[in-house]
């Protein structure tokens, strides 16, 4: 009896061991390779083997997010916010006609996922709605992390610190701080932190909210605006292009620092993890600083 039991135990143990050894080894490994190979298979057949080889070569990379498979990923932005996103001169875009720090970040995210990047250029004020409607997969638009926005999206690690600056016509002598904005005709970008600030804290005469802040700067140069309230770096870009016509006023007591984050839908936690990984690499490797330096120089030379 004892012998029979022992034998049965042995048989069960052997069977269990064989099952364990077989199941993961055979079907799982090829399935993973096939999944990786599939997205580029949309391309002509000859290109596929090269792509597969490349993917396999990179297997040693840390924490490859293989759980997330996307053929294409749509970046939502508002391409009128240099140096973060703008439409480049013919042929000079980092991605098609689009260029900028956020575009470069988006390219790195798509590359990490092995996905094709698609850019959806839209009104800044509508980006969060578009994300939750599924038109876009993530927002890279110099978007400030705010508690009210967090109710609708998840933000990445902060990747840039900014604040609001006031821009005035060069010859103006009346505006030296936020307090002096009382009674002024002010331009802002629609749905931005600049607009929220002016609405909440300034007793303005007129508040004009533009889809593209470039329209506000044009209006100011025509004499139609007393002040523009906009993100610091963007203010610097526009003022540096017209240093004889525009001037920056800073008010560190009135404006708080703001941190930019990439936004995803609440449920897309896997995508957020990949984005954070890419951002942390770009931040610690000094890549974001380098991009900022590159664009500052290049855009300042524009005129």
Binding site for ligand GLN (CB under 6 A): 78, 81, 124, 141-144, 189, 192-193, 231, 258
Cβ neighbours, 10 Å, residue 206: 12
User: Closer to ligand GLN at the Cβ: 70 or 218?
Assistant: 218
- Beta bridge partner(s), residue 87: 98
φ, ψ of residue 113 in degrees (nearest 5): -85, -10
User: Closer to ligand GLN at the Cβ: 48 or 97?
Assistant: 97
> Distance from CA of residue 52 to its chain's centroid?
28
User: SS3 sequence, 200-235?
Assistant: HHCCCCEEEEECCHHHHHHHHHCCCCCEEEEEHHHH
CB of 177 to ligand GLN, least distance (A): 21
Extract the tokens encoding 214.
């470039």
Extract the tokens encoding 102.
């956020």
User: Closer to ligand GLN at the Cβ: 38 or 123?
Assistant: 123
CB of 192 to ligand GLN, least distance (A): 3
Cβ neighbours, 10 Å, residue 153: 22
CB of 66 to ligand GLN, least distance (A): 33
Q: Which helix (H) or strand (E) holds 276?
A: helix 269-284
Question: What is the rounded CA–CA span in Å between residue 159 and residue 232?
Answer: 15
Question: What is the rounded CA–CA span in Å between residue 242 and residue 244?
Answer: 6
CB of 242 to ligand GLN, least distance (A): 19
CB of 25 to ligand GLN, least distance (A): 50
User: Closer to ligand GLN at the Cβ: 204 or 260?
Assistant: 260
User: Closer to ligand GLN at the Cβ: 83 or 114?
Assistant: 83
User: Closer to ligand GLN at the Cβ: 103 or 143?
Assistant: 143
CB of 267 to ligand GLN, least distance (A): 22
């Amino acid at each position: 009896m004892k012998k029979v039991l022992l034998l049965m135990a042995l048989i069960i143990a052997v069977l269990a061991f064989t099952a364990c050894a077989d199941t993961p080894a055979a079907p799982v490994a090829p399935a993973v390779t096939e999944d990786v190979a599939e997205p580029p298979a949309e391309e002509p057949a000859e290109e596929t083997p090269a792509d597969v080889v490349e993917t396999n070569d990179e297997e040693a990379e840390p924490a490859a997010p293989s759980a997330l498979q996307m053929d294409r990923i749509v970046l939502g932005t508002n391409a009128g916010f240099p140096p973060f996103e703008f439409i480049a001169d013919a042929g000079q875009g980092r991605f098609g006609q689009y260029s900028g720090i956020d575009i470069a970040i988006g390219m790195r995210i798509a590359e990490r996922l092995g996905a094709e990047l698609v850019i959806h250029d839209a009104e800044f004020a509508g980006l969060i709605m578009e994300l939750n409607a599924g038109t876009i997969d993530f927002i890279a638009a110099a978007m400030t992390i705010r508690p009210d926005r967090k109710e609708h999206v998840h933000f990445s690690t902060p990747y840039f610190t900014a604040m609001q600056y006031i821009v005035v016509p060069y010859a103006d002598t009346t505006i030296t701080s936020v307090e002096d904005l009382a009674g002024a005709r002010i331009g802002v970008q629609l749905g931005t932190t600049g607009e929220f600030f002016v609405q909440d804290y300034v007793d303005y005469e007129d508040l004009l909210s533009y889809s593209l802040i470039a329209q506000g700067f044009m209006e100011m140069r025509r004499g139609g605006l007393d002040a523009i309230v906009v993100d610091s770096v963007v203010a610097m870009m526009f003022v540096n292009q017209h240093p004889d016509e525009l001037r920056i006023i800073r008010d560190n007591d009135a404006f708080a620092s703001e941190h930019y984050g990439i936004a995803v839908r609440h449920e897309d936690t896997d995508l957020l993890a990949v984005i954070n990984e890419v951002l942390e690499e770009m931040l610690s490797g000094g890549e974001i600083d380098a991009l900022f330096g590159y664009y500052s120089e290049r855009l300042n030379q524009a005129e």
